[in-house]
Amino acid sequence: MRLPIADCRLPIGRSCLLLLLIAVSITFVPPGQIAHAAPTVREFTLGFSGQGRPIQVVRVGDGPRKLVVVGDTHGAPEANTYQLVIELIGYFRAHPDAVPPGVRLYLIPSLNPDGLALGTRFDGESIDLNRNMNTDLDSCTENDWSLTVQGARGIVSDTGGPYPDSQTESRIIRAFLLDAAGAIFIHSNAGMVFPAFCEYAPSITMAQIYASGAGYAYHRYWPNYNITGGMSDWAGSMGIAAITPELVTGNSSEYEQNLAGLQAVLAGAETILPLPEDGAVEGVAVPAAIYRYWRALGGRERFGPPLESARTAADGVTQVFTNVVLQLRGDQADTPYYVQPAPTGRGAAESLAFGGAAARTPGDPASAPVFFPETGHGIKEAFLDFWRRGGGVDVFGLPISEEFTGRASDGQTRMMQYFERAVLTYNAGDGTVRLEPLGMRQYMLEALMLPVAPQTVR
């Protein structure tokens, strides 16, 4: 089954919810399997590449430990890893019982369908997707993101991307792994298995077990050069057990070996794959997936600390931070929108918080390099740069006003703009953009209006 969810970039609308509910409720029972005994098998589209090609996933099982196998990050030259994951999917469709009850296994044949189609290692914008992640979050500096990278055969090139997580595919995998326990990024063809660079025991254990199961060499480090912006390193920094198996050849799927490696990991899943751990910020507990989102997208500097404990409601978990209200939404599980900021910017715009009466003026498509007919407003200059680098529409939503001169929370008169999930403010003094404290604003409004239902932002 293939279902487009591209229309769900802002999964607030009912049609998107409906599509997603259909996507997760259709279950495939392979021939010969007994429905009530076998783990469920589902195929769905995780998202779309930069050039609009679907990134497919097959999910097997329903256990708490999410293990994700990612094939073909490096496109056409590593097409044998695509072939391998296709063959693994065939195996687990026929033998869903091979996934133990504690695990749910996800198999992504190609994270880089553009590179596969275009005959290149890079994505459709000539960026190396395994050099584009924000690997500055761990305690190691050698693997920090860099525009200039080393690649296959040690070739140096400026293919790390304009900034960390700049590529659509990078942001999709970043979001999809927020609740993962383990991730296996398959490449070719150096013939070895190695764990995430920075010290992290679960990655090391998983790499050793996979290597021994597959009959591949185990190396503690990629021996050839420092990989910057690598997916495995990013995942490791999030507390995910993360490894890179490199096939020995460039043209064979090496199916038997890798099936054995994967089976060895599955057999030891209870000990190899640690469940995602809750975080603590200033003594306040933060649920695991929300904590990873908060860290991965900017942490305290961007979002501020939590103002209270997380609240659980029927539709998910919500936690208020100074600048954002983060929601973990059960109805968005298995999509890149599992964790998302609440649309607090809408309420601020409706009540013209911070001033901004002129903000309701319709925008002129010719006045901004990026214009959204959906809302009739564009983004430009410093706000556009901040919006893009910070995660774009998924994090801040669409612009719902023009720029306006308002009274910022620091009492100063500044250039501002309303977005669905944020209000941006420009500091002309140092050229920086920051988020207005909409989490704090909601917190105060709710305090004034008590008693109040937990979800009042919409």
Nearest to 393 by CA among 337, 456, 322: 337
Judged on CB neighbours under 10 Å (0-12, 13-18, 19+), 285 is middle
**Shortest spacing between CB 272 and Zn ion, in angstroms:** 23
Answer whether 148's CB lies under 8 Å from 161's CB: no
CB-wise, 82 or 294, nearer to Zn ion? Answer: 82
Residue 104 or 187 with smaller CB distance to Zn ion: 187
Tell whether residue 187 is a contact of Zn ion (CB under 5 A): yes
In the complex, what is the shortest distance from the CB of residue 445 to Zn ion, in angstroms, rounded to a whole number?
A: 49
Of 104, 122, 101, which Cα lies nearest the Cα of 113? Answer: 122
Query: The tokens of 13 are what?
Result: 């609308």
Q: How far is the CB of 159 from Zn ion (least distance, A)?
A: 13
377 binds Zn ion (CB under 5 A): no
- Which C-beta is closer to Zn ion: that of 74 or that of 421? 74
CB of 231 to Zn ion, least distance (A): 10
Question: First and final CA of the chain: distance in angstroms?
Answer: 33
- Among the residue ranges 27-35, 137-145, 182-190, 355-363, the one whose residues contact Zn ion (CB under 5 A): 182-190
Nearest of 149, 167, 138 to residue 242 by alpha carbon: 138
Which lies closer to Zn ion via its Cβ, residue 258 or residue 425? 258
Lay out the site mask for Zn ion across 68-107 (x = CB under 5 A, - = otherwise): ------x---------------------------------
Nearer to Zn ion, 108 or 286 (CB): 108
Tell me the window of 8-16, 28-36, 184-192, 357-365 that interacts with Zn ion (CB under 5 A).
184-192
Contact (CB, 8 A) for 149 and 229: yes
Give me the amino acid identity at 456. Answer: T
Q: Which is nearer to Zn ion, 65 or 74 (by Cβ)?
A: 74
CA distances from 189 to 70, 78, 153, 216, 219 (A): 15, 8, 11, 12, 14
Confirm or reject binding of residue 131 to Zn ion (CB under 5 A).
Answer: no
Neighbours of 274 (CB within 10 A): 16
Considering the complex, what minimum distance in angstroms separates the CB of residue 189 from Zn ion? 9
Give the Cβ contact number of residue 330 at 10 Å: 12
Q: How far is the CB of 37 from Zn ion (least distance, A)?
A: 38
**Tokens representing residue 239 in the block:** 């507390």
CB-nearest residue to Zn ion = 187
Least Å distance, CB 99 to Zn ion, is 26
Count of residues that interact with Zn ion, criterion CB under 5 A = 2
CB of 130 to Zn ion, least distance (A): 6
What are the start-end ranges of the E strands in 397-458?
A: 404-407, 413-418, 423-427, 432-435
Q: Which is nearer to Zn ion, 218 or 372 (CB)?
A: 218
Q: Which is nearer to Zn ion, 74 or 295 (CB)?
A: 74
Of 63 and 160, nearer to Zn ion (C-beta) is: 160
Following DSSP, what letter does each residue of 314-379 receive, concatenated? TTEEEEEBSS-EEEEEGGGTTSTTSEEE--HHHHHHHTTTT--GGGGSPP-GGGSSEEETTTTEEE
Residues of this chain that interact with Zn ion (CB under 5 A) are 74, 187
